[in-house]
Copies of this chain bind each other. A is one copy, B any other.
Amino acid sequence: MKQYEDKELLECIQNYIGQLSYVHEPENLYKPIEYVLGLGGKRIRPVLMLMAYNLYKDDVSAICQQAAALETYHNFTLLHDDLMDKADMRRNRPTVHKKWDENTAILSGDAMLILSFKMMMESCPSEYVSEVMSTFSKAALEVCDGQQWDMDFEKRIDVTVDEYMNMIRLKTSVLLAASLKIGAILGGATAQDAKLLYDFGVKMGLAFQLQDDYLDVYADSSVFGKNIGGDICSNKKTFMLITALEKSSGQDKIELEKWIKSDDFVADEKIKAVTTVYNNVGVPDLCMEKINGLYTEGLNILGKVSVDDALKNILRSFTGKLMNRVL
């Protein structure tokens, strides 16, 4: 059985998405969809789906439509999230509501969501359709739950670590997990293997998100490609801020609460001051410990999947690459 490298799978996905002709009439509905899907990105979810499938079968092109459906769904969430967050840019290009307008962003997003269900279903082998679609629709709804919690947390100061972990599980992890599970189902995996791959995806998703939060504070901005400190400026209740609030005391706690309450501040000063508190409290170590713990748990779960262990190395190396992409 041929095993594909991540680059080959990415190329397979890119070619498939490239040849899709989303654009037909009415143009004002489909041009924005083509635009969003053409912005690129790492296509992590479809690649994970093909990798999970490739543990069992090697005709990966057979499920490109399902992989592209997941990517279409993911890009729908970015489109509507950017609208709700009033974000102007995505991947260095204007967002749809900036390039067109808000109504276009709403309706094109709706059409992408419907397209993702349509694509996931079409050409799905009938013996798997019910399991695939229930996995997909469950994850799709959970992503909305996660987005709602994320918005709710903006208005609260008392978010706990458990609540935060549950939010990022819903908003980020379950779709990665569902990608792996759907790939496994379509590959003919046992229910147990499909569940193990799902659980592996959940752990990896949590680790990715915590790492993203970590890099938002500690990354080299020239490498990370995003401005540093955005989460600190907006008081985003990340694992790090919640941990700092819980563990700080004395002057550190006073300092942290002062900056959180301040509406009028110089960004660089706030970032520096809050980062100093994080360092004093030992937040970076606690965060890295948590990330490493999740990563190890994920690998242990992957180890239990009942295929030849050597076949799993591509998933290990791909997730490892994602984890270490800038550290």
- Identify the A interface with B (CB < 8 A): 25-26, 28-29, 80, 83-84, 103, 106-107, 109-111, 113-115, 117-118, 121-122, 126, 129-130, 133-134, 137-138, 140-141, 144-145, 147-149, 151-152
A114 interface neighbour in B28, B129, B144, B149, Cβ under 8 Å:
B144
List the B side residues contacting A110 at CB < 8 Å: 80, 109-110, 113, 144
List the B side residues contacting A103 at CB < 8 Å: 84, 151
Shortest CB–CB separation between residue A34 and chain B, in angstroms? 14
Shortest CB–CB separation between residue A190 and chain B, in angstroms? 20
A107 interface neighbour in B25, B80, B122, Cβ under 8 Å:
B80
Shortest CB–CB separation between residue A166 and chain B, in angstroms? 10
Give the distance in Å from the alpha carbon of A118 to the alpha carbon of B138 in the complex: 8
Contact between chains at A141 and B111 (CB < 8 Å): yes
Contact between chains at B83 and A106 (CB < 8 Å): yes
Shortest CB–CB separation between residue A78 and chain B, in angstroms? 13
Shortest CB–CB separation between residue A161 and chain B, in angstroms? 18
What are 26 pairs between A and B in contact, CB < 8 Å?
Answer: A26-B145, A26-B152, A28-B151, A28-B152, A29-B144, A29-B145, A29-B148, A84-B107, A107-B144, A107-B147, A109-B110, A110-B110, A111-B144, A113-B113, A113-B114, A115-B141, A117-B117, A117-B133, A118-B134, A118-B137, A118-B138, A118-B141, A122-B134, A126-B126, A129-B129, A133-B133
Give the distance in Å from the alpha carbon of A94 to the alpha carbon of B145 in the complex: 24
Give the distance in Å from the alpha carbon of A114 to the alpha carbon of B144 in the complex: 9
Q: Which residue of B lies closest to A137 (CB)?
A: B118
Shortest CB–CB separation between residue A147 and chain B, in angstroms? 6
List the B side residues contacting A80 at CB < 8 Å: 106-107, 110
List the B side residues contacting A111 at CB < 8 Å: 141, 144-145
Give the distance in Å from the alpha carbon of A138 to the alpha carbon of B111 in the complex: 11
Give the distance in Å from the alpha carbon of A29 to the alpha carbon of B25 in the complex: 32
Q: Which residue of B lies closest to A145 (CB)?
A: B26
Contact between chains at A137 and B152 (CB < 8 Å): no
Most buried by B among A118, A140, A148, A151: A148
